[in-house]
Amino acid sequence: MEHLTCVTRDYAWGSTSLIPRFLGTPADGRPQAEMWVGAHPGDPAVLDNGTRLDDHIRDHEDAALGEQVRETFGPRLPYLMKALAAAEPLSLQVHPTSQRAALGFELENQAGIPVGATERSYQDCFHKPEMIVAITRFEGMAGFRDVEKTVRILRLLEHPWADRVAKELETAPPFQALHTVVSEILEQHGDELQQLVGEIAAAASAAEAVGHQKFRTPGRMYLDRASVERESTRLFAQTASLAKKYPADPGVLVTLLLNHVVLSPGEAMFLDAGVVHAYSSGFGVEIMAASDNVVRAGLTPKHVDVDELLHIANFTPMPAPLWEPQALTTNTLVYRPPVAEFELTVAREPGDRLPAEGPRTALCLDGEVAVTSAHARHEMRRGQTLFVPHADGPISLEGEGTLAVASVPS
């Protein structure tokens, strides 16, 4: 096993303080958004001897990966772990299935768009399911909300556009209605769109200010009033804030249709292919299949591909996509979503059970710990990272701290 030096990426939505504080380094004013802990060729970690982790894995396939991982995924680390710090919302986006990723990558190649070009949506041929585990309070939007609840929220705005959308959602099957509404929203542009976004933002601010008393339909019972109240309050504040930053962006209107998710530390959200989402704020550990395929539709100055998003997005209403960990011991949790590429183990006490085989990357979340195998022992403090190859076999935890270990499910 070896310590890693990881690359930190700056994006406009990143935090100027969270990652520096986590790493124990001075803040320099840059919006540090992500620290990549892995072997993705876009920004691979580097071993102590200066070798890139992706090169090391290709040169030592069996020792680094183990036969099973190598045969399944080829000579590559199939996952990427990140420390992610959001001070502002990320783009409204969706990720493809494996089949769509392969097709999209080939079509953009045939179109002559260079890999790495900003106008590409498909940078590789892999899918990108992902999971975020909150370290601090973490907020985001994910999946289309139950239509009946969305109708109640839209009615609170008391605006003709919101009333029209609510009526559409009431009169057609949910999947069809949401696809139609989102298509209509994303096709708008120019001055007319900017005026509408401004009006909806003003209506949201007014609804938030006066309180929410309009939850009863004549002859019907209250529909989860407390839940609607809580979500609409957060949602309307967010709508007004997004409109200030993106006054002519249709994504502002789409967010009114999504679940607003708030994670407490230790809670997780799993985002499978097709789930429209955007992180809003907070610090967490993100783990995903090793891909850089993102199809965007708004809340960003980057390349957007509305037609592709409408094609691959899942418009079926769903609850907030929370993911419950499994308790291996009192202080060891494993987050194991239904994907072949990754799982995440979070351990807090000496002797806690850790992944015993395959390629593993470790990130110390707090305190000071030591990771020991039959061949080596490495000490770690908060923010430090480690690569543990398959050949090192089982590992154990010592010290007082918390360790996150990414691995391939066995």
CA distance 316 to 404: 33
| CB proximity list for 407: less than 8 A, separation 6 or greater | 342, 343, 344, 345, 355, 358, 359, 360
pLDDT at 375: 85
CA atoms within 13 A on the CB side of 196: 18
β pairing state of 268-271 and 322-323:
antiparallel
Alpha helices in 261-393 (DSSP H): 306-312
Q: How many CB atoms lie within 10 A of CB 177?
A: 21
The DSSP result for 157-177, as a single string, is T--HHHHHHHHHHHHS-HHHH
Residues 270/271/276/279 CA torsion (nearest 10 deg):
60
Q: Which two tokens stand for residue 172?
A: 């057609």
Per-residue pLDDT of the chain (410 residues; tens, 9 = 90+): 999 999 999 999 999 999 999 999 999 999 999 999 999 999 999 999 999 999 999 999 999 999 999 999 999 999 999 999 999 999 999 999 999 999 999 999 999 999 999 999 999 999 999 999 999 999 999 999 999 999 999 999 999 999 999 999 999 999 999 999 999 999 999 999 999 999 999 999 998 876 544 444 444 444 455 556 667 888 999 999 999 999 999 999 999 999 999 999 999 999 999 999 999 999 999 999 999 999 999 999 999 999 999 999 999 999 999 999 999 988 899 999 999 999 999 999 887 779 899 999 999 999 999 999 988 999 999 999 999 999 999 999 999 999 999 999 98
What's this model's pTM, rounded to 2 decimal places?
0.93
CA distance 185 to 165: 10
List C-alpha distances in Å: 262 to 81, 147, 269, 290: 21, 20, 10, 26
What domains lie within the chain, and their CATH numbers? 2-141+263-323 (2.60.120.10), 148-250 (no CATH), 333-407 (2.60.120.10)
Say if residues 11 and 43 touch (Cβ distance below 8 Å): no
CA atoms within 13 A on the CB side of 210: 12
How does pLDDT run across 335-378, given as a tens digit for each residue?
Answer: 999 999 999 999 998 877 798 999 999 999 999 999 999 889 99
CA distance 372 to 1: 9
pLDDT at 353: 76
